[in-house]
């Protein structure tokens, strides 16, 4: 299946990546060739196969819900492009 420009626009919206028209053209070409490549899998009948969801046999372990390191707000905010003393800052969401 080929990926048309409308589909590219839709998935780029879902992925939150803005694209100009030239990029959309190129991506439509690239993604179509990649999808064509991965559709080779359709040659294989997998009706009775259980999907592999994890390479490790054991199920994920539980652990106690406890605080091991706290009071690290400064560290968490350290790399933020825009912040106040205590918060991340984003463009205004509510008028």
Partner 1 sequence: MTDLTNFSIVDLVNGIKNKDFTSEEVTKSFIKNAENSDKLNAYITKCFDEALVSAKNFDKKNISKGLLPGIPIAVKDMFCTKDVKTTAGSKILNNFLPTYESTVTNKLWLEGAFLLGKLNCDEFAMGSSNETSFFGNVTNPFGDKIVPGGSSGGSASALAANLTPATIGTDTGGSIRQPASFTGTVGLKPTYGRCSRWGIVAFASSLDQAGPLTKTVEDCALLLHAMSGYDPKDSTSVNIKVNDFSSNLTEKVKDLTIGIPKEYRVEDMPTEIDKLWKKGIDFLKDAGVVIKDISLPHTMYALPTYYIVAPAEASSNLARYDGVKYGHRSKGNNLIEMYENTRSEGFGDEVKRRILIGTYVLSSGYYDAYYLKAQKVRKLIKEDFDKAFNNVDAILTPSTPSSAFKMGEKKDDPVSMYLNDIFTVPVNLAGLPAISIPSGYDKNNLPLGLQLIGRPFDEQMILNLSLALQKRMNFKRNIKAWWK
In the complex, which residues of this chain contact partner 1 (CB under 8 A)? 3, 7-8, 11-12, 14-19, 23, 27, 30-31, 33-35, 37-42, 44, 46, 49-56, 58, 60-61, 63, 72, 75-76, 78-82, 88, 90-93
Q: What is the 3-state secondary structure (H, E, C) of 24-46?
A: HHHHHHHHHHHHHHHHHHHHCCC
Least distance between partner 1 and beta carbon 63 (Å): 7
8 A C-beta contact, residue 23 and residue 56: no
Nearest to 23 by CA among 9, 41, 42: 9
Least distance between partner 1 and beta carbon 40 (Å): 5
Least distance between partner 1 and beta carbon 91 (Å): 5
Pick 56 or 67: Cβ nearer partner 1? 56
* Other CB atoms within 10 Å distance of the CB of residue 8: 20
């Amino acid at each position: 299946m080929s990926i048309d420009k409308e589909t590219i626009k839709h998935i780029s919206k879902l992925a939150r990546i803005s694209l100009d028209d030239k990029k959309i053209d190129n991506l439509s070409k690239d993604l179509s060739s990649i999808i064509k490549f991965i559709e080779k899998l359709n040659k294989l009948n997998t009706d009775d196969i259980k999907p592999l969801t994890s390479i490790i046999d054991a199920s994920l372990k539980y652990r106690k819900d406890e605080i091991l390191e706290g009071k690290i707000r400064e560290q968490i905010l350290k790399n933020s492009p825009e912040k106040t003393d205590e918060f991340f800052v984003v463009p205004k969401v509510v008028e």
